[in-house]
Amino acid sequence: MAVHDSAAPLTLRAPRRRYSEDIVRIVLLMAAFVSVVTTFAIIISLLRPAIEFFTEISPWEFFAGTTWTPLFLEGEFGVVPLLVGTLVITFWACLVAIPCGLGTAIFLSEYANPRVRAVLKPVLEVLAGIPTIVYGYFALTFFTPFLRDIGVQVEIFNVLAAGLVMGVMLIPLVASLSEDAMFAVPNELRDGGYALGATRRQVATRIVVPAATSGIVASFVLAISRGIGETMIVLIAAGQLAQISADPRVSLETMTAFIGATAQGDVPTGSIEYKTIFAVGLALFVITLAMNIVSIRLVRRFREVYE
Amino acid sequence: MRTALVIGLLAAVLASGCGGGGGGQTILADGSSTVGPFTTRAAESFKQENSGVDVTVGISGTGGGFERFCAGETDLSNASRPIEEDEQQLCADAGVEYVELPVANDALTVVVNPANDWATCLTVEQLRSIWEPRSTVKSWRDVDASFPNEPLRLYGPGTDSGTFDYFTGEIVGEEGESRTDYQASEDDNVIVEGVSGDNGALGYFGFSYYEGNQDRVKAVEVDDGSGCIAPSAQAAQDGTYTPLSRPLFVYAKTSSLQRSEVAEFLRYMLDNGAEIAEQAQFVPATSEQLTDANARLDAAIGQ
């Protein structure tokens, strides 16, 4: 606080209002606001055609139906095949992304010397920067023939290639978020472990990973969300055959692939086929929203607070 | 395609906004995505000789194109099938008169994998058994007992396509009636990709895509009861490739023909039809078709 016993007008408070500060504050606020406004705008734009859709097709038929042929004469609107397609492909992606991503993170954080790290980190970043359409064609024109060469009898469009390549795409996401979480674990904990005679592996798996669980789990959930929402890879490499199957060698259609493929065609605006796109989009939005809520809860539950 | 459509619509909005101003040098076309490339090719060469005339070509599909055409929004409508009765009614109600011009032909081509050495010729009956709704044909043996027990995997255009309408109409018997458990794609390249990657695959699309991919897929001969005919420009023109050869049309609004640039563009399109068809990889119209089209155009302009 200003001291009043001297005549000198020495004060910490600015003598006049700094408008430049206000401008900066407003600009930054608006930048933050863009994402909020966009989220609400997306919900509204999805809701209207989706509600119109559900006045024509009952939610029961949509969510419980097992035949998806909305674009054909006498079409059926059971979204279950798309849901199954989405989940099955995401499952195969996670089978690659979670072990490889977590392994990479542990290696980078606990084992790698600075020289190896200096090579591995940029490579991961390059992997993260590859456009998904490139991954899609990689899956279709390289990975599917490769699977056939090693004796896996896959169809030309198949779940396995799309899922595994999507998993590779997700490795950098899991690795970098998990590594951030492990990096934030205080060194005192590691030193304590070593002081008690623990090996490097014991420190990594029994001290660092448990301490960083909240961040690691968050990275998994984010990877799953990202996999569910991925469009280009599945559109190119998994085909558009809406069927229910657990066999990874056949073609399935995901929710995103349906939206992508249908929006590409000439569906008349306002028709039931057009509204179908929004209904599927809304379902997709709800799923990823639920995933994010779960993720936040998990993070809270497992958070370890130091200092 | 959606982007192209949006651009087309934007251009249309801009054009209609400016059209009142008096320029009137923009010709609006919309309709079939199969015929679209033909009109676009014609427009490109026409523009080289008549700078100042822009032709915007949308691809809303044959049906979508007629909807706009009959609402009076477009000058030309591309169609991969003749105008249907309810569409004629729509135009009549709106007072839109038009003339139908056959501009090119197409031989809808059934393709299989090059490794397929058994199905060189399929009858219409066999194709119907494969493609009819709720078809139980799962392997090539179900098609013909002499074929191997190779699983049959199907690829075809999506339901928005005029090609889908025409194929289902001619083969299954009812337009739009099709089995649904096949890989449907609006992008014909996906069909090429699928058929060339699967030994047991079968698909269909326009002849131009077959011509462009002869090294990757094999065309099947089609038997309509009078022998096996391979798809070709020749067979499509002389009408022996039945039932899958079809004429492609441009419909022109009669009132737009009073604008000299529209009339000139259509004359140019008919006069250079063979050349444009070749450049755009279409089967050219026959000379009878062109004579007929010219006569119709003259009559419509003279009105």
Say what the pLDDT of residue B22 is. Answer: 39
Q: A155: which chain B residues are within 8 Å (Cβ-Cβ)?
A: 153, 198
Q: Which of A73, A144, A251 sits opposite B176 (nearest CB)?
A: A73
Indicate the pLDDT class of residue A263, thresholds 50, 70 and 90: confident
The CA distances from residue B131 to A211, B114, B124, B187, in Å, are 59, 21, 10, 19
Task: Using 70 as the pLDDT threshold, list the residues of chain B that sit under it.
Answer: 1-24, 303
Q: Report helix, strand and coil shares of chain A as percent, to nearest 5.
A: 70, 0, 30
Give the residue from chain A lying closest to B33, CA to CA. A266
Q: Would you say residue A15 lies in a domain?
A: no
Question: Given its phi and psi angles, is residue B294 left (phi above 0), alpha (psi -120 to 50 degrees) or beta?
Answer: alpha
Domains and CATH numbers, chain B: 2-105+247-302 (3.40.190.10), 109-230 (3.40.190.10)
Indicate the pLDDT class of residue A11, thresholds 50, 70 and 90: low
Q: Would you say residue A92 lies in a domain?
A: yes
Indicate the pLDDT class of residue A292, thresholds 50, 70 and 90: confident
Say what the pLDDT of residue B139 is. Answer: 94
User: B185 vs chain A: nearest CA distance in angstroms?
Assistant: 7
Please answer yes or no on whether A261 and B193 come within 8 Å at the CB atom.
no
Mean pLDDT of chain A: 89
The CATH number of the domain where A127 resides is what? 1.10.3720.10
Say what the pLDDT of residue B34 is. Answer: 79
**E strand spans, chain A:** none
Give the residue from chain A lying closest to B68, CA to CA. A268
Say what the pLDDT of residue B67 is. Answer: 85
**Residue A128 near residue A168, CB atoms below 8 Å:** no
Say what the pLDDT of residue A14 is. Answer: 61
Count, in order, helices (H) and strands (E) of chain B. Answer: 13, 14
Interface ipTM: 0.76
Give the integer Cα–Cα distance in Å for A282 and A59. 12
Amino acid in the structure at residue B271: D
Q: Would you say residue A20 lies in a domain?
A: no
Give the residue from chain B lying closest to A250, CA to CA. B153
Q: Averaged over A260-286, what is the pLDDT?
A: 85
Whether residue A210 has a cis bond before it, omega within 30° of 0: no
Give the integer Cα–Cα distance in Å for A233 and A166. 7
User: A276 vs chain B: nearest CA distance in angstroms?
Assistant: 14
**Is the pLDDT at A169 greater than 50, yes or no?**
yes
Substitution target from B5, B68, B161, B183 for chain A, most A beta carbons within 10 A: B183
Tokens representing residue A286 in the block: 């709800």
Q: Would you say residue A86 lies in a domain?
A: yes
**Residue B217 near residue B210, CB atoms below 8 Å:** yes
Q: The domain containing residue A110 runs over which residues? A: 80-302
Say what the pLDDT of residue A5 is. Answer: 52
Say what the pLDDT of residue A307 is. Answer: 52
- Count structural domains, chain A: 1
The CA distances from residue B297 to A121, B268, B301, in Å, are 68, 12, 6
Higher pLDDT, A307 or A151: A151
**Residue B101 near residue B266, CB atoms below 8 Å:** yes
Q: Averaged over A211-224, what is the pLDDT?
A: 91
Question: Which residues of A have a CB under 8 Å from any CB of B?
Answer: 69, 71-73, 140, 144, 155-157, 239-241, 243, 251, 261, 263-268
Higher pLDDT, A15 or A280: A280
Say what the pLDDT of residue B189 is. Answer: 86
Q: Would you say residue A40 lies in a domain?
A: no
Substitution target from B60, B134, B160 for chain A, most A beta carbons within 10 A: B160
Say what the pLDDT of residue B154 is. Answer: 95
Q: Would you say residue A212 lies in a domain?
A: yes
Q: Would you say residue A74 lies in a domain?
A: no
Say what the pLDDT of residue A225 is. Answer: 93
Give the residue from chain A lying closest to B6, CA to CA. A266
User: B138 vs chain A: nearest CA distance in angstroms?
Assistant: 14
Give the integer Cα–Cα distance in Å for A259 and A254. 9
Say what the pLDDT of residue A108 is. Answer: 94
Say what the pLDDT of residue A7 is. Answer: 53
Question: What share of chain A has pLDDT > 70, as a percent?
Answer: 93
Higher pLDDT, A19 or A135: A135
Q: At what angle do helices B36-49 and B260-271 cross, to 10 degrees?
A: 110
Say what the pLDDT of residue A10 is. Answer: 60
**Bridge pairing between strands B109-112 and B201-205:** antiparallel
Please answer yes or no on whether B185 and A240 come within 8 Å at the CB atom.
yes
Q: Would you say residue A201 lies in a domain?
A: yes
Give the integer Cα–Cα distance in Å for A148 and A154. 6
User: A215 vs chain B: nearest CA distance in angstroms?
Assistant: 40
Q: Using one digit for the tens of pLDDT, what is the confidence trace for A129-167? A: 999 999 999 999 999 999 999 999 999 999 999 999 999
